[in-house]
Structure 1
């Protein structure tokens, strides 16, 4: 067997890649106050910016590690990577090949033999089904608006305007919390049936209802009063709170022929395609975050709306795009559409309406929470770094 033909068992990757390994790479930190024993608690973000908490079991045995959240959601390292797949630079013919590549990178091992592991992939990819009976649901009371909205800078007028698209939800199976959180219902293009919720709660709590369809459904606030054909502008955001903040800050300029969309962070091709099928006469707008992940999301959105196959690669200076036989760099600091348009034909069926550069996202902008200024290295520091990398044998 030639070295280039060597493959390993897909399941062997799980024995070498822990959920904690993946979580630390994503910026999670260990909460020592919660104890360090058979279970550990990993937190993403701090204080009011706390975005997620997972409890990991079997921290010393990677093959047996599982995680759960207090909302009842749970999984293994494969499902955790799947939740955060777009945070990693991995390409593949499908989602499962991309997950396998991420695991192989963490394990420092060759890619698995996908053909021999079809049964495992089929079992791992079996989708949860959203059970609406699991959740108690209430409408938003205009006279008793949850204080979480005001904590995010959202006014009563904004909440009232969007209240037809927001609910209060409580998970009947959650033994640790019997109260209500804010739920943004997910629907698909083919029906108004609710297929899950994007959930937000006090203390930075962030989750999705168990079994939420994040492949074909998303949160959509159609302000044309159901007259989908009249929608002329669709604004894509990474979260429902960002979409609400965008609406509040720009309401006087938006009109009523609009729809607000939250894709819930990472997104599938089918989510975007479904939205554009729902609003066939609309122009899409990239309202994603002002970070590298937001720029990647913007490029993916453009590729889907403009029907241009793109391959996106992260580089030291930003992003490299491969499209229509051309390779070119894209700077995250400038309009990605202008840059792409100088290399390949673009119909401009979409636009950008991103938060000001001093802010990470629209909700931070609404709160006046500026990002810390980046301190760029001096020429001397860059030269020292280059010399160090060359001496260490890293390929440039």
Structure 2
């Protein structure tokens, strides 16, 4: 049984932690084997509309899988699953950040957390270093695992040109609205590591940055360790940047600066209704 989470403009709501703890044994797991192309086919519909290519999938292969849970009514649904762990126990899965298959028309799909997931503390952590978190070169924070993978793909050439950077990188997803316990849990393990905030480029994402900075300050972490990674203002998040999808918030913010096509020189922004009426040529029938 999945716990749905609404898309924006409603903020992603973290489900309450269930009394029944999460059990990975309740799921059939299908893994992405970089050496076996046959295992890749089932992942195609989950990444196609996101623009995330096979090379990025291969890079993150150890950090996602398909999870199928059989329900009591006999139905079974497979979701793309990003395992959640606690920074202090990175080898113990405490839940799943889940994404369903897109609809046939390519529109939105289910996103949420698996039943029993520790949503208040659990994070998706893709640790490329293979070392304990406290030895990482830097931690990049996102609101979804898709955004983290998109960020990597956008900057992939940079990672290729700097293999040491790639090997020391840690990508983190909060799976929605960051909680105090998620932030404190990671900072307590990595107080001397640089943290790069790559949250969504909207009003909520900017509030998350302030929240993160305030928590870090309360934990006496050097403010120089907390860095905001810039995203072009025309994109809401890193996956939209990968797809070249301009955000509605950005378009609304610049509408007064848009000059209508064919407008006289010196025109600024949209015309008022009266101005527009005055500009229209008179047509005599």
Question: How high is the TM-score relative to the length of structure 1?
Answer: 0.53
| Aligned residues: CA RMSD | 3.0
Out of 182, 187, 205, the residue aligned to residue 271 of structure 1 is: 182
* Native 8 Å contact 1:72 1:174 kept in 2: no
Give how far 1:130 is off: 1.3
Give how far 1:149 is off: 1.3
Mapping for residues 139-288 of structure 1, pairs under 5 Å:
139-142=31-34, 143=37, 144-145=39-40, 146-147=43-44, 148-173=46-71, 175=73, 177-191=75-89, 192-203=91-102, 204-254=109-159, 255=165, 256-288=167-199
Mapping for residues 34-73 of structure 1, pairs under 5 Å:
71-73=1-3
Q: Distance in 1 between matches of 2:192 and 2:135?
A: 7
* Native 8 Å contact 1:134 1:173 kept in 2: no
* Native 8 Å contact 1:273 1:304 kept in 2: yes
Q: Distance in 1 between matches of 2:75 and 2:243?
A: 28
1:307 aligns with 2:226: no
SS at match of 2:171: strand
SS at match of 1:180: strand
Q: Distance in 2 between matches of 1:348 and 1:356?
A: 22
- Provide structure 1 residue ranges, at least 5 long, that are not aligned to the other structure: 1-70, 75-80, 86-123, 310-345, 382-396
* Native 8 Å contact 2:18 2:117 kept in 1: no
Give how far 1:160 is off: 0.8
Q: What per-residue deviation string (whole Å, max 9, x for no partner) do you get for residues 254-294 of structure 1?
A: 52211000001112211112122333431111101111111
Distance 1:174 1:292, change over 3 A: farther
How many residue pairs end up in the alignment? 232
Give how far 1:181 is off: 1.6
* Native 8 Å contact 1:72 1:173 kept in 2: no
Out of 352, 356, 359, the residue aligned to residue 228 of structure 2 is: 352
* Native 8 Å contact 1:127 1:211 kept in 2: yes
Give how far 1:133 is off: 2.5
Q: Distance in 1 between matches of 2:18 and 2:114?
A: 17
Match of 2:247 in 1: 371
1:129 aligns with 2:21: yes
SS at match of 1:356: coil
Q: What per-residue deviation string (whole Å, max 9, x for no partner) do you get for residues 113-164 of structure 1?
A: xxxxxxxxxxx98744212232222211331421121321111111111111
SS at match of 2:146: helix
1:84 aligns with 2:13: yes
Distance 1:172 1:296, change over 3 A: same
Distance 1:354 1:265, change over 3 A: farther
Distance 1:83 1:369, change over 3 A: closer
* Native 8 Å contact 1:232 1:283 kept in 2: yes
SS at match of 1:348: helix
SS at match of 2:60: helix
Distance 1:350 1:72, change over 3 A: closer
Give how far 1:305 is off: 2.0
